[in-house]
A and B are shown apart, each in its own frame.
Chain A
């Protein structure tokens, strides 16, 4: 029952006003047919009597107010999902762009999803191994968690994202693992890097990719993460897989949101972002999680570049309020040659304590984690003191700590983007480092673990 109208009244930016419509619903999808036969997509943003305010997903170039036709489709935006999505690459609207055949859908799902009932959630407490020591060892990612990566322009967050996508796995289970990758507003080169990297390493086999490029319409970017999460929900909660969703870059997404908000002449909040930015981001992030009675999980790792490395900018700020921790990349470490340049001290995984320990990782994990944090932080303090007062001012033990912090960055954090470390390996490297310190300094570790793992007579 498609209804066609030739009553476009005005077009301004991504918005279009269509008059005299009947029986059109809020959030309904529509198509615009240009005089040349080209078809573009849009959706209803507001419906006031017989006036529909419509938001274009694509460019407005060439739209002719007189001759273009608008066709309302009588449904919201849907995504065709199927288990065959794995290994495929789609554009930001869900059309295949890898030259493969069209999907045969197993289901059509509304891309907005529905909120998980808090009473039906299950608490995330199972470990995901990313193969990256700074994450697995110190800021452990847990299935069902949302843990963003805070980066900045010029830092290698894409390399880290690709590394996580390649290496991530769940231990001690036969359950299937999948990665859903959503790119919003990234450049062709970046997208090419990801696609090639996944193809070359075979990671593509278990990955679904949604790619919205920087020169694709900003508006399409609003749909891209929702498509990815809808696909993830199908894989996780229908097919009971463990799904890791990577999204890059949330900053571009928020900018797209701002663009539409400005076009709608809404009252802006901080820095021109709409007042509902928090609610909108939460609508994405909160789709991660676990449900009672379902084996599947959605773990979300959004990546965002902090404008001017400012953590109080609305995008990282609001993200931090919703997500369960953050992994922070540091330019200082990057300049020192650390790959990945993860700054472990301000990074935090709020759920880590629930996902580690005996039966999940190893019994000494919590203790060594705390000790490594404490020792690294003390080493950094010592080094700072050294800068101000000279190395004579340091006590012997502080000198050991200063050395420890260097070695820690070198051996523990800087593992390279192509090294996949098991959690055992990560914990053992931790012990090698901790064994630089005298035993009586390891106050946060239970004696039984020191007896078991401490390496005696290690050279300092």
Chain B
């Protein structure tokens, strides 16, 4: 490595060190600290003194030790080999480190992010002499059974291909040569680098208009997130944030999923590592791990690297987006990332904002979420790439007035509010249907009306109204008891209970219930609401309430969620008939 600049430590305070003699270094350059070669990043410059956040434990460092700048900002390596990897916050491959350094992470441990020895079969898709613009696809590598890795021209390079060859290559091998406009010749390889703090360029952004199907009923039906949209899941501990994030990582419709475990539990990452290779993608039947990349910077790993992990994750996601794929990023949890920001800010003795968080918390969060979206990729071939960002927020005590939660709500379009009372009642997912919202609802209703059923928006709004009425009625029940309600109101309570228990409640650990297709969601909500509409009619026709409430068909409606996808259409038809027949029988009885 070419050393651009050498300095010398003068101060050490936790993960922050100050070095002198750094006049020629640039802001955000990566530096190597002491002969242990700990990785750090310059975050402030004062004259020839640089403040450096060090990504590793700094015990044992002292004044006088050397600091060497690498002359480039913190960057990630992008190329074949990313999929199925597990990286720490600065893209060190944890599985490789575990094999070479042992089960604990030692300081200064290093391994390249992409395997330098592995050979990939590259198939060129352009010819010698072709004039290419930046972002054009040079060729492909079949990285896993699920993913064709498109090798693109880096965003800063365009020109004429002088040489390009299919064949078996390592990531650093030269696969071809390109002559740019100025006549300079560049070697092309399978791998490129990109600085994590800068969003990868694209042609233009377009507004999201299609739902991201997650297979989670309360999300898809009531609070949908758009492809290319942003969502936040705030909630107190024990309310199931991580389970929801895992469910989305497992089932959300995506070509690539980047899961960032940022300041969370080590065992959770182990869980993902154990489980994902076993789980099958509902669309392809291949193990989910073949489309997943994990970034694991657990809570006990150095705090500065936690700050970087979010950027590392989203840059990798952008790279796959640029290939024209649908990519999702899950960040669990952005609150821990914000705390890392706060810790560094405190060490820099910056003027604190609310609760000690730096004043730039909001803009940093916005920078992260705004990297999501639907974009037209660089390159001449009109690819469209999608990046959806979903962040968990862990507000202290579940209190949403927390600065991180508030700054997040200002940016994201979808808010799934987790509720500890629901979790306490073991109602999962514990998304509160009264306080959550999705600003995409109207747009998504239109899509659902066009693509699922024209009645979608009516069904959804009726169901929502029912749930809203339930909460009002429950207030009354609490004051004057159940007996004081009219039969019509009782029916509402009963129908709402059934919506809650038979539709909103979803068991993520059950093989069938864990994922529900739109087709099935449609049948379920239609049948539940049909029963309610019919029951209302029957009640008006004078049928006894108890008879309606105890109808046999209701047991079958309750078991709908356990009906396998393949049988749902037939089952729904039969049930629909049964509802009609049973009500017909009741109505006859009622008139007698």
Contacts and interface: CB of A to CB of B under 8 A. Distances in A.
Interface of A: 23-28, 45-50, 76, 110, 112-124, 144-145, 237, 266-270, 275-276, 278-279, 282-283, 285-287, 289, 291-294, 311-314, 317-318, 320-322, 324-326, 345-346, 348, 351, 353, 373, 377, 389
Contacts of A269: 342, 355-356
Interface stretch (B218-226, B292-300, B581-589): B292-300
B589 to A, nearest CB: 25
Contacts of A311: 397
- Main secondary structure, interface of B, reads mixed
Given A27-B59, A119-B86, A267-B346, A373 B426 contact: yes
Given A47-B62, A118-B273, A270-B355, 11 more contacts: A23-B64, A24-B62, A26-B59, A49-B11, A114-B105, A282-B298, A282-B299, A282-B300, A289-B267, A320-B238, A351-B267
Given A118-B86, A121-B267, A282-B263, A317 B60 contact: no
Contact of B98 (A50, A119, A348): A119
16 contacts: A27-B60, A47-B12, A48-B10, A112-B57, A116-B103, A117-B98, A118-B266, A120-B98, A120-B103, A278-B299, A278-B339, A312-B396, A312-B398, A317-B237, A345-B424, A348-B238
A321 B97 contact: no
Contact of B103 (A275, A282, A291, A373): A291
Contacts of A268: 356
- Nearest 8 interchain pairs by C-beta: A312-B397, A282-B299, A27-B59, A286-B300, A120-B103, A25-B62, A320-B237, A26-B12
A195 B274 CA distance: 41
A59 to B, nearest CB: 25
Contacts of B274: 123
A291 B98 CA distance: 11
Which among A266, A268, A317, A321 has the highest number of chain B CB atoms within 10 Å? A321
Most buried by B among A23, A46, A269: A269
A276 B347 CA distance: 11
Contact of A115 (B10, B298, B394, B426): B298
Given A279-B339, A291-B103, A118 B299 contact: no
Contacts of B238: 320, 325-326, 348
Interface residues of B, number: 64
Contacts of A47: 11-13, 62-63
A282 B296 CA distance: 15
Given A26-B61, A26-B62, A317-B396, A122 B11 contact: no
A115 B105 CA distance: 6
Contacts of B204: none
B265 A324 contact: yes
B267 A144 contact: yes
Contact of A26 (B58, B396, B397): B58
A74 to B, nearest CB: 10
Nearest to B299: A282
Contacts of A285: 299-300
Interface in B322-374: 336, 339-340, 342-343, 346, 352, 355-356
B507 to A, nearest CB: 12
B548 to A, nearest CB: 20
Contacts of A23: 62-64
B397 A317 contact: yes
A269 B265 CA distance: 22
A117 B94 contact: yes
Nearest to A112: B59
A123 B271 contact: yes
A229 to B, nearest CB: 11
B451 interface: no
Contacts of B346: 266-267, 275
A118 B298 contact: yes
Nearest to A277: B339
B355 to A, nearest CB: 6
B269 interface: yes
A347 B340 CA distance: 29
Contacts of A28: 60, 62
A115 B394 CA distance: 23
Contacts of B107: 114
A95 B296 CA distance: 37
Interface in B44-81: 57-64
Most chain B Cβ neighbours within 10 Å, of A275, A313, A324: A275
Given A144-B267, A286-B265, A275 B396 contact: no
B261 interface: yes
A345 B107 CA distance: 43
Contacts of B301: 115
A287 B63 CA distance: 30
Contacts of B156: none
Contacts of A313: 397
A320 B398 CA distance: 11
B59 A76 contact: yes
Interface in B237-274: 237-238, 261, 263, 265-267, 269-271, 273-274
Nearest to B275: A123
Contact of A322 (B86, B95, B299, B356): B299
